[in-house]
Amino acid sequence: MTFADLGLSPKVLSAVTDAGYTKPTPIQAGAIPHALMGKDVLGIAQTGTGKTAAFVLPMITRLEKGRARARMPRTLILEPTRELAAQVEENFVKYGKNHKLNIALLIGGVSFDEQDKKLERGADVLIATPGRLLDHRERGKLLLNGVEILVIDEADRMLDMGFIPDIERICEMIPFTRQTLFFSATMPPEITKLTEKFLHAPVRVEVARAATTASTVTQRLVKSAPKPWDKREVLRNLIRAEADELKNAIIFCNRKVEVSDLYKSLLKYEFDAGALHGDMDQRARMAMLDSFRSGKLKLLVASDVAARGLDIPDVSHVFNFDVPIHAEDYVHRIGRTGRAGRSGKSFTIVTRSDTKYLDAIEKLIGQNIEWLDGDLSTVVASESDDEAPRRGRGAPRRAGRKDEGERKRGRRESPAKPAEEMLADAEAPAAEAVPERSERKDAIKADNAARGSRSGGAKGERSDKPRNDDRPRREDRRRRDDDLNDGTVGFGDDMPAFMLIEAKV
């Protein structure tokens, strides 16, 4: 089968041929004919199989007829990350070079003014992240009642609990008669149920079992002690061991702060590395990606912002510095390598506290991942006693062991004594009582007075008289105040005189 058999327009076929593609992938062959017919499509396929072209090519064909009006886009594509949205825009530019399409990209980190100008000209294709799209809508710069085709890319993440309210709001603004296309690499059953709200009699195109990994990727597990510096040493040894085959690599961490720490550590050991996470400025993120794509950077330390859909064709290695907490993220992470039939390698650093996450990953992908140098049973027990909860999504940020918190606050309780020792303590003679604080003060004052009297000064005579005997000690005052505070509210016998004056009517 060729692209000419799918029903695409001659202009689109010419652009595909110029791009160097002759044969469609299974997901493209299955989804494009139904999309051209205007049917709703639910597409599920592994990463790197051409899902983006599966909706871009039929959309361009259908957009050849008609024209967009100001602030009323004809099509809408929702993406979970800015990088993925920018990548989809590049696909429209590449495959739509024979068309005069107005493309608007609405993402955060970019000026509203430039985006408003594109919307005013009329957008045939609107590519957006949900947050920025709703911002434009609330500012009155965007109308969605002219949308003919809605695409939700990376549907499992877009329909995650954090995105559901935004997706529902956006779908209410779009005509009910729209065509809806869903594409993702993973589609758990609970997410499939949610798609029933947005799809109408969809055609399900599933070219591989959901949440499977590409057979071209060699996967290995690497044991490590739990401390961050131990994991960094393991990672450095892996990079050095793979130096002959390592062309470039993405190193994934669970948290932004770990991305920053690992990036600094690699620079310290003179590795050619860059960093990418969600808190970076958008231009800095795009510049970092461009440097990695062009080969100027060999290692890219990233959060899961780089795990979804980014098309960097020739990544030789993926290192999971942290085991992903969500099993689906593992599929997306290692899908950055071994794309388009190429071979790739994936290494995941595992500690004892990662075993439950590893079990979930192996259950999801339906296979056991081999260990590179023996499993965790060979890790020295004293080095792996870190049972603190993992930090990440769904875990408290300040989690830790109770005894550590007690030790920091200086209130760590001593262990209880056995009953025999407690009985022996009770029968033992009482130790010499420690003098009260006031008695110690009186003794000190008396001694000072004696020394003053010996020197013949008046100061000695004045100091013979104790100064604070008539004042209650601080502890006694506090105890007396507590005793008086018995919860009774009222004036008692001391009622103010103004309370006894009769009110004049």
Q: Identify whether 322 is part of a domain.
A: yes
Last residue of a domain, one of 360, 388, 416: 388
Query: Which run of H or E residues covers position 299?
Result: strand 299-302
CB 32 within 8 A of CB 24: yes
Q: Is residue 260 domain-shared with residue 350, that is, in the same domain?
A: yes
Q: What's the structural domain count of the chain?
A: 2
Q: Is residue 37 domain-shared with residue 65, that is, in the same domain?
A: yes
Asked whether the CA dihedral 398, 402, 403, 408 is positive or negative, the reply is positive
Task: Look at 452 and 432; give whichever has higher pLDDT.
Answer: 452
The structure tokens listed for 12 are 């689109």
Q: What is the number of alpha carbons within 13 Å of residue 413 lying toward its C-beta?
A: 4
Give the CATH number for residue 261. 3.40.50.300
Q: Is residue 282 domain-shared with residue 164, that is, in the same domain?
A: no
pLDDT of residue 473 exceeding 80: no
> How far is Cα of residue 78 from the mean position of the Cα atoms in its chain?
19
Q: Is residue 81 domain-shared with residue 100, that is, in the same domain?
A: yes
The predicted pLDDT at position 316 comes to 92
Q: What integer is the mean pLDDT of 145-159?
A: 86
Q: Is residue 258 domain-shared with residue 119, that is, in the same domain?
A: no
Q: What is the number of alpha carbons within 13 Å of residue 230 lying toward its C-beta?
A: 14
pLDDT of residue 45 exceeding 60: yes
Q: What integer is the mean pLDDT of 162-185?
A: 88
Q: Is residue 184 domain-shared with residue 238, that is, in the same domain?
A: no
Tens digit of each residue's pLDDT (9 = 90 or more) over 311-320:
677 899 999 9
Q: Please, which pLDDT band fits residue 353 given cuts at 50, 70 and 90?
A: very high
Q: Is residue 156 domain-shared with residue 305, that is, in the same domain?
A: no
The predicted pLDDT at position 279 comes to 78
Tens digit of each residue's pLDDT (9 = 90 or more) over 409-434:
444 444 444 444 444 444 444 444 44
Tens digit of each residue's pLDDT (9 = 90 or more) over 286-318:
888 888 988 889 999 998 877 665 667 789 999
SS (H, E, C) 275-287: EECCCCCHHHHHH
Q: Identify whether 466 is part of a domain.
A: no
User: For the ranges 215-229, 239-253, 404-418, 483-497, which has the lowest average pLDDT?
Assistant: 404-418
Q: Identify whether 470 is part of a domain.
A: no
User: What one-character DSSP code corresponds to residue 298?
Assistant: S
CA atoms of 71 and 358, how far apart (whole Å): 48
Find tokens 């027990």 and name the residue. 381
Q: Give percent above pLDDT 70 in the chain.
A: 71
pLDDT of residue 391 exceeding 80: no
Question: CB neighbours of 42 closer than 8 A, spacing ≥ 6?
Answer: 155, 182, 187, 192, 195, 199, 202, 203, 204, 205
Q: Is residue 176 domain-shared with residue 247, that is, in the same domain?
A: no
188-197, 279-288, 380-389: range with highest mean pLDDT: 279-288
CA atoms of 309 and 122, how far apart (whole Å): 27
Q: Identify whether 489 is part of a domain.
A: no
Last residue of a domain, one of 370, 388, 406: 388
For the full predicted model, state whether its pTM sits above 0.95: no
Tens digit of each residue's pLDDT (9 = 90 or more) over 230-284:
999 999 999 999 999 999 999 999 988 999 999 999 999 999 999 988 778 777 8
Q: Is residue 328 domain-shared with residue 227, that is, in the same domain?
A: yes
Q: Identify whether 250 is part of a domain.
A: yes
Compute the residue count for the chain.
505
Q: What integer is the mean pLDDT of 462-470?
A: 46
The predicted pLDDT at position 154 comes to 83
Q: Identify whether 230 is part of a domain.
A: yes
CA atoms of 323 and 125, how far apart (whole Å): 37
pLDDT of residue 121 exceeding 80: yes
pLDDT of residue 106 exceeding 80: yes
Q: How many CB atoms lie within 10 A of CB 58?
A: 28
Q: What integer is the mean pLDDT of 378-388?
A: 50
Q: What integer is the mean pLDDT of 330-357?
A: 88
Mean pLDDT of the chain: 79
Q: Please, which pLDDT band fits residue 216 given cuts at 50, 70 and 90?
A: confident
Q: Is residue 8 domain-shared with residue 141, that is, in the same domain?
A: yes
The predicted pLDDT at position 451 comes to 55
Asked whether the CA dihedral 48, 54, 55, 60 is positive or negative, the reply is positive
Q: Identify whether 394 is part of a domain.
A: no
CB 210 within 8 A of CB 187: yes
Q: Is residue 191 domain-shared with residue 229, that is, in the same domain?
A: no
SS3 427: helix
Task: Look at 271 and 500; give whichever has higher pLDDT.
Answer: 271
Give the CA distances from residue 328 to residues 2, 209, 251, 315, 364, in Å, rounded to whole numbers and listed in that order: 32, 13, 17, 20, 8
The predicted pLDDT at position 338 comes to 81
The structure tokens listed for 144 are 């969605």
Could you tell me the residue range of the domain that residue 175 belongs to?
A: 3-206
pLDDT of residue 475 exceeding 70: no
Q: Identify whether 431 is part of a domain.
A: no
Q: Please, which pLDDT band fits residue 332 given cuts at 50, 70 and 90?
A: confident
Last residue of a domain, one of 388, 405, 420: 388
pLDDT of residue 79 exceeding 80: yes
Task: Look at 181 and 314; give whichever has higher pLDDT.
Answer: 181
Q: Is residue 290 domain-shared with residue 328, that is, in the same domain?
A: yes
Q: What integer is the mean pLDDT of 362-379?
A: 85
User: For the ranges 7-21, 282-296, 341-355, which has the lowest average pLDDT?
Assistant: 282-296
Q: Please, which pLDDT band fits residue 386 given cuts at 50, 70 and 90?
A: very low
CA atoms of 431 and 358, how far apart (whole Å): 58
The predicted pLDDT at position 116 comes to 93
